[in-house]
A = this chain, B = another copy of it.
């Protein structure tokens, strides 16, 4: 059985949704950031990066959201969670997910995780002051260039959709008005209505 380690409010939500969409047999295990459980030796044995998500499989442990999402899509091909037989379309999905993890999520992380990249309180304040601008720029690129509609990759729902949904829920916290991004806003509303999302949403409320 698969086991997903997650924390509310994190990117782990995307992988959790994908497991649910896949109809996977899995267990969800809470990692409590409030007690810094992710930094304790017990969790570092699971994920030495001290982050979530981590997916325990019968072959070993996987980390990094784009990789976990793609693994789920591959393991449940009948669920059509990625265009597995179309290299270009699949690469576009991977490109979208890489952009979220390396650009949008990183921009967002400068709000509360500035100590990853600097030491001074003045730098953290400076970083925080720019988050609305940088995260908005990422959503603007998605809204105007990357999002095909009605789903991220076009006609078919894919592993890019729970990832966009996960980060689009951070908008208000980053002082971004979802109404400024109508396609993403509409996508977020439609995602909330999916049964698989509704089932796991309560676990990810902060």
Please list the residues of chain A having a beta carbon within 8 angstroms of any beta carbon in chain B. Answer: 48-49, 57, 59-60, 62-68, 70-71, 74-75, 87-88, 90-92, 94-95, 98-99, 101-103, 105-107, 110, 116-120, 122-123, 126-127, 129-130, 134, 141, 144-145
- In angstroms, how far is the closest chain B Cβ from the Cβ of A157? 19
CB distance from A134 to the nearest CB of B (A): 6
- In contact, A87 and B102 (Cβ under 8 angstroms): no
Task: Please determine whether B94 and A64 come into contact, CB atoms closer than 8 angstroms.
Answer: yes
A98 touching B66, Cβ below 8 Å = yes
User: Top 6 nearest A-B pairs by Cβ distance?
Assistant: A67-B95, A64-B98, A71-B91, A74-B87, A67-B94, A123-B123
Interface of A, secondary structure class, is helix
12 contacts between A and B (CB under 8 A): A48-B145, A57-B88, A62-B91, A62-B95, A67-B92, A70-B91, A74-B87, A102-B106, A107-B117, A119-B129, A122-B123, A123-B127
Picked from B94, B98, B126, B145, the residue with its CB within 8 Å of the CB of A123 is B126
Q: Do A130 and B145 have beta carbons less than 8 Å apart?
A: no
Measured CB to CB, the closest approach of chain B to A108, in angstroms, equals 11
Considering the chains assembled together, what is the distance between the CA atoms of A155 and B98 in angstroms?
Answer: 26
